[in-house]
Amino acid sequence: MTGWVKIAGLGPGSDDLVTPQVSDALAAASDVIGYIPYVARIAPRAGLTLHPSDNRVELERARHALSLAAEGCKVAVVSSGDPGVFAMASALFEALEDGPEIWRDLDIEVLPGITAMLAAAARIGAPLGHDFCAINLSDNLKPWALIEKRLRLAVEGDFAMAFYNPRSKSRPEGFARALHLLQKACGDARPVIFARAVSTPEEEIRVIPLNDALPEMADMRTVVIVGASNTRVIEGAPRPIVYTPRSVLP
């Protein structure tokens, strides 16, 4: 087959944070498939067909990409951040596993990108400088009971935590429940970073104690990072530096 699929991460927002590997794939693609706002970041050009689609249709989007590639098209499937972090790479492989045998002969490659938690961490210092975990707070594809279990275990393990999809208009209560659990379980003033639209002109970053965090401080464009018990804050201008030491004392 001459077609291929490149599952590409567009980074957190700034064109400066798109890798050269991803830029080369987009330049070579005949088709670009992805969620509407991500496809909107791709400049139209002769010979390129853009296929924007709505949210919550990841498997349909993946099947479309694989079908086009099987017909000989060169398809870039775009996600924000990194495609392997709560994004399109796993959806495409799920479609591949359940799809026609011929799809398994396709040239498929995952092209990494800078995910939001890493971009946010870099902006503020090194809050993920030791062991950490990432949790998607959306309960669209998993039950809230599982999210709550993972939150409790992350607190027990004293991880720094990065939260994706913390709060949306359709489900504002989940992040409130998560904050209540953390504030009750942690019992301290460890720092919380609210990083919204990192690397874009709308970027907003604030650092506050966990006990002062409010649900309305986050939306779907925000990644939230909660420090571990030993995460430290160095006060200064224009904003504090937050870091987690590389060592943990016994």
Domains of the chain: 4-114 (3.40.1010.10), 117-243 (3.30.950.10)
Cα 125 from Cα 96, distance rounded (Å): 39
Cβ atoms of 89 and 81 closer than 8 Å: no
Q: Could you read off the pLDDT tens digit of each residue along the chain, which spans 250 residues?
A: 689 999 999 999 999 999 999 999 999 999 999 999 999 999 999 999 999 998 789 999 999 999 999 999 999 999 999 999 999 999 999 999 999 999 999 999 999 999 999 999 999 999 999 999 999 998 888 999 999 999 999 999 999 999 999 987 667 788 999 999 999 998 778 999 999 999 999 999 999 999 999 999 999 899 999 999 999 999 987 889 999 999 887 7
What long-range pairs does 230-237 form, CB within 8 A, spacing at least 24?
230/130, 230/158, 231/127, 231/160, 231/190, 231/191, 233/191, 233/207, 234/125
Residues constituting the chain: 250
Cβ atoms of 217 and 207 closer than 8 Å: no
Q: Which two tokens stand for residue 89?
A: 């790479």
Q: Which two tokens stand for residue 31?
A: 């088709």
Q: Is the pTM of this model over 0.85?
A: yes
CA 39 vs CA 49, 55, 62, 79: distances in Å = 10, 12, 14, 9
Exposure on the CB side of residue 4, measured as CA atoms within 13 A: 14
